[in-house]
Amino acid sequence: METDPSDSAFPLSVRRDENYVDDDGCSKYRTVTLAVGGLTKREYFAAKAMQGMLAHETIGLRNEGIIAQLAVKQADALIAALNED
C-alpha cells in the first residue's frame, strides 16, 4: 500500500444524510460518509521528527528554521521509505 503524504493522518468519518433525485425523477434518501480533517501524514511525520530533535539536548541546532527544514526532510524520507517495494 502506498503512503500518500497528503492523506490525513487521523481522518474522521462524518456521516451526512441527504436527499437526492435519481435518474427517473424520484426523490430518494441516502447517507453519505466523508473522511475529513486533521494534519496530513507529511505534517504529522514532520511534527514527530521535530519533537524528537527539540527534545534531544545535544542536537546543537537552535535555529528554528534549520530544525523545521530537517524535520520536513525526515518526513519526506520516511514517506519514500514506506513507498519502496
The 10s digit of each residue's pLDDT in 4-43 is 888 887 777 777 788 888 888 888 888 877 767 778 899 9
Locate 62 and state its grid cell.
Answer: 537552535
Q: Report the 10 Å Cβ neighbour count for 71.
A: 21
**DSSP 8-state assignment for residue 7:** S
Strand 27-36 and strand 12-21: the pairing is: antiparallel
The whole-angstrom separation of Cα 46 and Cα 40 is: 10
Note the pLDDT of residue 35.
67
